[in-house]
Structure 1
């Protein structure tokens, strides 16, 4: 019996993947539409992708870099903070946009059939544009400080992938939960605000007391941000507890697909 359940689950996932590929054109259209609307009739255009993290970075520099004087292990503080902030900004964007995506597309969902998972997935593509712009800004900052990237840069694509997985894992969960419980529309901004300071962006995770390290790394972005920063600025190897965050991110992503698949059957009726 257990084998039959596992086989059925695998079959369900494979069919869903094939269906997503069939609707790839719709996926591209939705992503392009969101990207065009995001910057339509704006004077600064893509510069908005830099302005928000830039002002957050300035606050971090003044508070944590100048006032508290966080030890960054020889890395210029603006580079230290921005290396974590760039990953977090992408994560927060996808979590927020994907979390509200199904409710925002309820008219389309009620009229035509298509794999609903396309909607939150398309938000990850839109966020990548801002993410790339932020990384280019960080590259310019490193040139300004004449700070050479670490030889660990080879691992950066892996941590970008983990950032996408973590963002989509929570985003897909929220998109499915928000259909039944609209309270999550109000919870998401709160999660973003708290998560900004509960993640090692403005400070290294090493300052967290050892007895709280495991609890701290249940936050999937804690280890991901550490790895993201390590791949750019170098330093000592990642602590073993960081892998807890990686595992949480992967579990969230896989479980979100199963739950979304379950809710998708009645989505048009309750949205």
Structure 2
């Protein structure tokens, strides 16, 4: 086992060094020249949360009727912000690092991975803020928090897969950035991020298809991971997931399988085209 680990370390040592330096540089440059600096990684989702909470929870009365809903809303927004940042920055990462890729020899995928890790660091900071809010809201944590690492792994490989796929296409088709911007908005409002899933299941105008529509929403792997994280961290009683509303194990595995497939597809497309990136750019 030790021999295997040593072989892996020797093989990927250079790549890990480059990855670490890129992540460090990107994170420093992100807030360079800003008065508040790294604090913006916390302030941005908090400001968005305040706007969403006032508009949807206070004026439009979108709530699940529990004291934990503000924390659930903040957690959903923070999780979506991670997916949005990881995919948007990852989409442009190869083109933005084109000069570096032509001058220095290292695996091209590292620039995409470094961009997603930068988004992951911001997400980790936001989760600390969510935990503080949860403590003040007297959230009762359960054993389900032990399942969170699996949720975060699924969320990351899904975001990385999308980023690899989009970055490959963006080298050839710059319109992909505009299409993805539109698709992100569609995905955001098609998922129960700012509104509780119960509003779909209990909506009288959607009956008798409310539950079916909710299940279809949760077949989206992004929506499924958002709900799973909310369910396992904040409110298992009030946050339904595909596992709890479908009654079938295989339905719960569909979004997981889609996440793995998107990750594999991203790797496949990127590896197939990455040698031509320097020529095209």
Q: Which residue of 2 aligns with 1:28?
A: 20
Q: CA 1:62 to 1:227, structure 2 compared with 1: closer, same or farther past 3 Å?
A: same
Stretch deviating more after TM superposition (162-171 or 74-83): 74-83
Verify: 1:255 aligned to 2:265, yes or no: yes
Q: Which residue of 2 aligns with 1:146?
A: 138
Structure 2 gaps, min length 5:
1-7, 202-209, 244-250
Question: Number of paired residues?
Answer: 256
Secondary structure of 2:242's counterpart equals coil
Give structure 1 stretches of 5+ with no counterpart: 1-15
TM-score, length of structure 1 as denominator length: 0.86
Match of 2:115 among 123, 145, 157: 123
Deviations 1:231-251 (A, max 9, x none): 112324632445432221111
Contact 1:83/1:232, CA 8 A, preserved across alignment = no
Contact 2:171 2:280 in 1 (8 A): yes
In structure 2, the CA distance between the partners of 1:19 and 1:123, relative to structure 1 (3 Å rule), is farther
Aligned to 1:210: 211
In the other structure, the counterpart of 1:169 is 161
- Determine the C-alpha separation between the residues in 2 that align with 1:145 and 1:178: 43
Kept after mapping to 2: 8 A contact 1:162/1:249: yes
What do the CA deviations read for 1:145-173 (whole angstroms, capped 9, x no partner)?
Answer: 22233331111111111111111111110
In 2, Cα distance between equivalents of 1:111 and 1:261: 20
Range 197-206 or range 218-227, more displaced: 197-206
Contact 2:215 2:242 (8 Å CA) reproduced:
no
> If the length of structure 2 is used for normalisation, what is the TM-score?
0.83
Offset, 1:214: 5.1
Q: Which moved more, 1:73-82 or 1:173-182?
A: 73-82
Quick check: 1:120–1:172 contact (8 Å CA) kept in 2? yes
Contact between 2:42 and 2:126, CA under 8 Å: does it hold in 1? Answer: yes
Q: Which residue, 250, 274, 279 being the options, matches 1:264? A: 274
Report if the CA contact (8 A) 2:23-2:114 is conserved.
yes
Quote the Cα distance in structure 2 between the aligned partners of 1:151 and 1:195. 30
Greater shift in the superposed pair: 221-230 or 71-80:
71-80
Pair 1:19–1:117, CA change in 2 (3 A): farther
C-alpha displacement of 1:199: 2.0
